[in-house]
Chain A
Amino acid sequence: MTQPEAERQLLARALLAETEPDELEFFQEYVKAVDHTRQGGRLGPEWGIPEVASVGPAVVAVGLYLFEVFKSWTADVPKKTIEGFLVDRGKERLKAWLGAPKKEEMGSIVTAKGKAEIMSILGRLVTEAKLSPRDAERLTKRVAGHLFGVTAGKK
């Protein structure tokens, strides 16, 4: 795995460790799952009972997507695009945070508007993951808790 690739996965790995620590052994498979969007045809006799989507792959998808969003905030983009999302010197701090995404630090890097933006993106990603309402709520609380230190739902 290349260095940028490893860095890209840091946040996702941290979120999975926070949400479903038992599933860390499948982390690399979950990363592949995010990149694989096509639903293939029949490959052989199947178990036949569709299972509801699970939190593990969804949380990795969220982590990878948020990394790209944050990275875009640190890039040389017109100020207007991210105006009001970051605190003073937030860009540099966010860049450092992406290299070591410590728990609950994001709250001090983004403004209330930035936090609302992140929560809105998170809400959309959770909806797309088609989780059960209970799992969707748990995932949202855990990710928000990891990023901002908001009271996290118990597992």
Chain B
Amino acid sequence: MVEALRAESRYRTWFATILAGTIAVVYLSSSFPFFLDQLPALNPVGHIVVALILFTMALGVVGTMIYAAMEARRRSSGLASLRTASVRRMLRELNGIFDTGVVAVTFGGMQDGRILAMKIKNRDVVGIGRGALAFIKREPTGFRYRLAHEYAHLAVGDPRREQWLSVVYATTTLFLLIAYGSALSNTFSVLAGIGSAGGWPEVKKALLGWMRFGLIANLVLFGSILFMLMLERRSAARLREFYADAAAAKAVGAVEQVFSTAAPVQSALRRFWSRFLALHPEPADRAAAMADRGTVYRADMMLFVLQGFFSAFILELVLQLLFTSASATLATFDDRRASLWRFLAINSAATYGTIAFGALLAMTAHILVLRRLAATVRVAGERRERLGLIASVPFFAAAGAFVLLATSEGILWDLQQTAWDLPRYVIVAWDRLTMHGVALLTLCGVIMSLFFLKPRGARAIFALGSLPVLITLLAGYFLYR
């Protein structure tokens, strides 16, 4: 089981890294297209390559800062080695079960009742808050289960991956804020010009008039991306807790009294927080998951949303790069087709390269997600659980694709140009929407088939992951040939 969970954690980390990195690079490069255009030979993707180089460098800087902050936090938390007789006895037993060499430290003050897993240098460490030490004596069985939960985190490699993802997400957030800041700075510099020429009345007119759309669209775009990233991070964290609970139960047996089964009375906001944004599932859900694994898989639906979102993101990115007249309201289908063939004639290497890069990126994301799901399927033995997952795939994946399209500045602009007339927009942008539809349907198809076929080999998953990309490419060829 630990092996399957380790694989799941590894693929989840890679997928999140690729997703966050791609989004950060694309938005930074599209915010500074001329400034970053240092590799003209690679156009139209030269600025994206430069942004990618910057992102890689920024990972190092942010990583160093986060590492330094973590070290400071450890120092200030008063970490000290814990070697009392009862702790040593418990660790010896668990080290034998998990085949590890975990050591224990204690930290914090008398109110600090946390129990946690850490990786310090290359040592696997469980930390026990000084306020929690009493439980070793008071509830030895429950405490052993709590420790086994932390052992499961360490065996799966969660502390190291959490540190890595903190670096990736912090860098991505930084890049997105820079991109958003640049959009705001452009707006305010234009406003300053308007203000100096026409004074406050002109500024007010611009703000409430033609600038309003851009301001709102940017806020929606960057806000939704940051929100999606946060949802994924939190969803993965909650899922990880369920898995650690399950691994602990397998190692030392389930201990029911560690979770309160009473569901607390909560406000709607609090319920939303614990369902979507909390780092840990509710204790009542954790207790339920011991008996019903469906509770665990319901926590993983965010993966489908994210995959739908990312798949549509890559396709939209490639389409925007391929068509100079991408906007549906400024160009017809024939214009877009002509633009594509013109690009192919002028710089076929870069154009085919862009398509190939998008295809490879999408394929990598699909394969990672399918491998991650394959690990889940291995654990999800019951037919009912699998059917529940299958039924939710189209809905959640479509929700992700919809969020991407609904928050895309380009699509919002086109809709505004058609006076928010959706049928009219569909008529002029039918080719792009068809591409998105094909990509989404094939993606849903392969994810659902995974639960039936239950492929184990890397080749089978590679073939499944390639299918949505190949079919979308074929659809594109027949559409624009």
Is the CB–CB distance between B130 and A30 below 8 Å?
Answer: yes
Find the A residue at minimum CB distance from B119. A44
Give residues of chain B (250-264) contacting chain A, Cβ–Cβ below 8 Å: 258-260
What sequence of 0s and 1s flags, for each residue 41-56 of chain A, a beta carbon within 8 Å of any chain B beta carbon? 1111111111111111
Q: Which among B106-114, B299-307, B392-400 touches the partner chain?
A: B106-114
> Is A39 in contact with B85, judged by CB distance below 8 angstroms?
no
A26–B116 alpha-carbon span in the complex (Å)? 18
Select from chain A the residue with minimum beta-carbon distance to B160: A44
Instruction: Return the CB mask of A39-79 against B: 1 if under 8 Å, else 0.
Output: 11111111111111111111011000000000000000000
**In-complex Cβ contact of B116 among A22, A38, A47 (8 A):** A47
Q: Does A152 contact B (CB under 8 A)?
A: no
Distance A38 CA – B77 CA, assembled complex (angstroms): 7
Instruction: Answer yes or no: B159 CB below 8 A from chain A CBs.
Output: yes
Q: Could you list 9 A-B pairs, sorted by A, with CB under 8 Å?
A: A26-B133, A29-B133, A34-B109, A38-B76, A39-B108, A46-B115, A47-B150, A49-B258, A53-B113
By the criterion CB–CB under 8 Å, are A45 and B116 in contact? yes
Q: Are A23 and B76 in contact (CB under 8 A)?
A: no
Q: Which residues of B contact A124 (CB under 8 A)?
A: none
Cβ-defined contact, A23 with B110, below 8 A: no
How many interface residues does chain B have, given as a range? 35 or more
Task: Give B87 Cβ to nearest chain A Cβ, in Å.
Answer: 9
Chain A contacts for B146, CB-based, 8 A = 47
Pick the interface stretch among B20-28, B134-142, B445-453: B134-142
A44-B127 CB under 8 A given contacts A26-B84, A29-B82: yes
Task: Say which size band chain A's interface belongs to.
Answer: 35 or more
Select B109's contact among A25, A37, A51, beta carbons within 8 Å. A37
B118-A49 in contact (CB<8A): no
Beta-carbon contact of B137 and A30 below 8 Å: no
With A36-B130, A38-B76 known to touch, is A46 a contact of B116 (CB < 8 Å)? yes
Contact A54 to B84, CB < 8 A, known contacts A36-B109, A40-B107, A47-B149: no
Q: Are A25 and B85 in contact (CB under 8 A)?
A: yes
**With a CB–CB cut-off of 8 A, which chain A residues contact B110?**
30, 33-34, 53, 57-58, 60-61, 129
Task: Using known A-B contacts A29-B82, A40-B107, A45-B150, determine if residue A51 contacts B113 with beta carbons closer than 8 Å.
Answer: yes
- For residue A102, CB closer than 8 A to chain B, the reply is no
Assembled-state Cα–Cα distance A148/B162 (Å): 53
* CB-contacts of B93-116 with A (<8 A): 106-116
**What are the 4 tightest A-B residue pairs by CB atom distance, in nearest-first order?**
A48-B280, A40-B77, A57-B110, A54-B134
| Complex alpha-carbon distance, A37 and B206, angstroms | 53
Using known A-B contacts A29-B82, A45-B158, determine if residue A39 contacts B118 with beta carbons closer than 8 Å.
no
A58 to B114, CA, bound (A): 16
A39 to B138, CA, bound (A): 24
Q: In the complex the two chains form, what is the Cα distance from A47 to B116 in whole Å?
A: 6
Footprint of B on A, CB under 8 Å?
A: 20, 22-23, 25-26, 29-30, 32-34, 36-58, 60-61, 129-130
CB of B150 within 8 A of CB of A23, answer no
CA distance A49 to B130 in the complex (A): 15
A129 to B109, CA, bound (A): 11
Q: Taking beta carbons and an 8 Å cutoff, which residues of B are in contact with A? A: 70, 73-74, 76-78, 80, 82, 84-86, 106-119, 127, 130-138, 146, 149-150, 153, 158-159, 162, 237, 240-241, 244, 258-260, 279-280, 283
A44 touches B118 (CB 8 A): yes
Contacts of B116 in A (CB 8 A): 43-47
Chain B minimum-CB-distance residue to A57: B110
B159 closest partner in A (C-beta): A44
* A45 touching B240, Cβ below 8 Å: yes
Which chain A residue has the least Cβ–Cβ distance from B126?
A44
User: Of A25, A45, A56, which contacts B117 at CB under 8 A?
Assistant: A45
User: Chain B residues with Cβ under 8 A from A41's Cβ?
Assistant: 73
Chain A residues whose CB sits within 8 angstroms of the CB of B118 once the complex forms = 43-44
Contact call B280/A40, Cβ cutoff below 8 A: no
Beyond the given A25-B86, A36-B77, A39-B112, could you list 13 further A-B residue pairs with CB under 8 A, ordered by the A residue number?
A26-B136, A32-B106, A38-B109, A43-B107, A43-B118, A43-B127, A44-B153, A45-B244, A47-B114, A47-B116, A48-B280, A54-B135, A57-B110
Q: Are B86 and A57 touching (Cβ within 8 A)?
A: no
Rounded to whole angstroms, the CA-CA distance of A47 and B85 in the bound complex is 23
CA distance A32 to B105 in the complex (A): 13
Q: Is the CB of A57 within 8 A of B84?
A: no
Kindly provide the distance from the CB of B54 to the nearest chain A CB, expressed in whole angstroms.
28
Q: Among B130, B134, B135, B283, point to the contact of A32 (Cβ < 8 A).
A: B130
Rounded to whole angstroms, the CA-CA distance of A47 and B80 in the bound complex is: 19
| Cβ-defined contact, B84 with A44, below 8 A | no
Q: How far is the CB of B139 from chain A (nearest CB, A)?
A: 10
User: Given A38-B76, A53-B110, is A44 in contact with B117 using a C-beta cutoff of 8 Å?
Assistant: yes
Q: Cβ of B150: which chain A residues have Cβ within 8 Å of it?
A: 45, 47
Most chain B beta-carbon neighbours within 10 Å: one of A29, A30, A48, A52: A48
Do B132 and A51 touch across chains, with their CB atoms under 8 A apart? yes
Bound Cα distance from A20 to B137, whole angstroms: 10
Q: B283–A49 contact, CB under 8 A?
A: yes
